[in-house]
Structure 1
């Protein structure tokens, strides 16, 4: 099962040089040279895990698992040259390792080298992988070809229930789309039909015991502000969409698979989405702006195929790796019961709820933080979140919508940094 499918089944999506490999660690200071690198990776100690895999390869250069481990860590930081080198070698050493094939395919997809991903996804034997392979093979022209401005500012239509902006599909009149970093680029079936999109493949999942058919296609153009993207892969299905304040329904969701083509700022405080091209000039502009506003800079990792991560803390517990799925309506933090207990957070077991087959309970942590950005008494939930199954490593929490409202957050997919500004 791939991560997009798992996110839908879990009900988490609306409707889912090596920079910054090392996470800050506040646990044991025991030497890691004797610790299994798999355990180091599992606990989010990526730099130490990478060194551990390197030591294994010094003794056994043909260790496919260690080679794949180094590739997986490189991919977290979009270190594509190293990721491709290690993952190609891992697939050659272990041709039956479908996970390594998917990781190598993802390495190509993130670089818009979709043609290189196609045979890898065709070779896993998974129906969902095959649907994406067919979709990618159907892209003609340059994938995500970008035209227009170097930088654009798109005003929010609203901030709640989630930030929403207007965008145009295939030259149509602008429609409303939610922004959710825990999602991919996905439309409602009605939006796809109105835009004349043609399904080139389908895949099936079973969220909450129901059968959901996902349609895969390619749109000619998608315009956000003064930027137009062409030849864009997109999916559509019967999205579970919340009403906007005017009572209308959004036409879809703009997620990380589109946002990572930019240096993307979600400016909650000033209610706008700012998209910069990933150029040296735009990166320098961002860094200068961060200096003026006093924004905190943290590492940025991209887990799975579309979940950004950084470092966060709950009360005095942390910093540890934390995910940044912004789509948690009405809440600011999601964590496991175990992490809540470690952080001394009281769990309200008297008011349980359930979503996607997962039980969760209200929490209101006294203090949660990303760097110097602090949220106090922010509402959230604790429950059996499947982050380990999704990412392969532990996370302290997911920071989401209510936490970000006073801030501007920037996902720098050029330098792989996360910036957060505001009180």
Structure 2
């Protein structure tokens, strides 16, 4: 849960087809929702299929409804259905050229496909400083970004599992250094690492996380070495922000976040203590699923909220399955909930032991049961607090499933097919090895 790349972009959605997976148990595609036909309420509740159909009805009545178009694009972008997202969002921008949200969503549609040039004028057109900084960064990229070289798959052993998983990564061909892995973050370096690598900032932006003033520097790495795979021409940010120390007391050189991981079929194998990165090919996707299935995993939907927060379906006690986020950076905890959802799920809140973090008060919880598919944890420690997920994503989540819940398991983010696998049991050593 380190600093994100564009918190103001953290709004998203999905569409039909793969979106059918978003139906909650007992629903059919033609089910009548108790929320009626209000598309905004359906989207807020995470009923993406029904919301998409409701926005489609609005567009049949008024094809020039720019907001309904933007929302359908937002929904398509959740599951990386880029053709649909581009079509809806481009038309929304054409009809409402001052709509900064639609422009950001359309820019993100291009960025996720590593098609940076079209994103530049869109980001420059929002009037936001941070957007402009990213626009300058992307405009400075020469050639294709994230050029993939090397093996079909690679396995990077964990340096440690706590406080967060950590692997060794090479910046610009230098000796590999320890990087934390955090799916709630983006790819980022410490200022010291950037200086050692000779990186030059092409732009800067200022944000205010938890009441701090943070200057972020934007640039481009020549290469990033990940075991047997190397990425060339990689946009990156760096800043002066203290990260959690490693067990030996040293500071990590940076963070590997979802904006890097979504270029792969990525497995965080906590039980086997390794990060496995596979190219997004049909063969590698089949192998990843075969390993996960032998570990007792379900095939769950994967949605990408904003530019970097993965989501799926999860349950707490008997509440759910509902949309849940999977930000793995929650150190020392396995579940994070809002007070309202904890009460809905019948979770007791320990108000006698308040905790303070980042200017927010939270309270301990220990739900009897939490689960992602068949992967179930009992009495996993967590916290409740005023988490801003609704404001960030635009839809409600049952909670965030994170570090302590995942430690006995392996979790795979299949960004080729937008599926998520969480093993109910640890795979064997032989099963963990990727085919190269």
Partner in structure 2 of residue 142 of structure 1: 144
Partner in structure 1 of residue 11 of structure 2: none
Q: Distance in 2 between matches of 1:32 and 1:322?
A: 21
Q: Note if 1:221 corresponds to 2:220.
A: no
> After the TM superposition, which of the residue ranges 289-298 and 385-394 deviates more from structure 2?
289-298
For 2:276, which of 269, 274, 278 is the aligned residue?
274
Q: Residue deviations 1:264-297, cap 9 Å, x none?
A: 0000000000000001121122233233333221
Partner in structure 1 of residue 191 of structure 2: 189
Partner in structure 2 of residue 25 of structure 1: 24
Q: Distance in 2 between matches of 1:210 and 1:34?
A: 43
Q: Note if 1:352 corresponds to 2:354.
A: yes
Q: Residue deviations 1:199-238, cap 9 Å, x none?
A: 0000001223321100000000000110000110000001
Partner in structure 1 of residue 41 of structure 2: 39
Superposition CA RMSD, Å: 1.8
Contact map agreement 2:211 2:359 (CA 8 A) in 1: no
Q: Residue deviations 1:322-342, cap 9 Å, x none?
A: 000000000000000000001
Q: Residue deviations 1:36-73, cap 9 Å, x none?
A: 10110011000110010111111111111111111000
Structure 1 residue ranges without an equivalent (≥5): 8-16
Structure 2 residue ranges without an equivalent (≥5): 9-15, 426-436
Q: Distance in 2 between matches of 1:234 and 1:272?
A: 23
- Residue 38 to residue 302, structure 1, CA distance change in 2 (3 Å): same
For 2:331, which of 293, 307, 329 is the aligned residue?
329
For 1:60, which of 54, 59, 62 is the aligned residue?
62
Q: Distance in 2 between matches of 1:189 and 1:312?
A: 37
Partner in structure 2 of residue 10 of structure 1: none
- Secondary structure of 1:296's match? coil
Q: Residue deviations 1:155-191, cap 9 Å, x none?
A: 0000000000000000100100000000000110000
The TM-score normalised by the length of structure 2 is 0.92
For 1:164, which of 163, 166, 171 is the aligned residue?
166
Q: Distance in 1 between matches of 2:109 and 2:268?
A: 25
Contact map agreement 1:312 1:322 (CA 8 A) in 2: yes
- Secondary structure of 2:362's match? strand
- Secondary structure of 2:19's match? coil
Partner in structure 1 of residue 132 of structure 2: 130
Q: Distance in 2 between matches of 1:33 and 1:326?
A: 32
Partner in structure 2 of residue 71 of structure 1: 73
> How far 1:23 sits from its partner (Å)?
1.9
- Secondary structure of 2:130's match? helix
Partner in structure 2 of residue 408 of structure 1: 410
The TM-score normalised by the length of structure 1 is 0.95
- Residue 5 to residue 257, structure 1, CA distance change in 2 (3 Å): closer
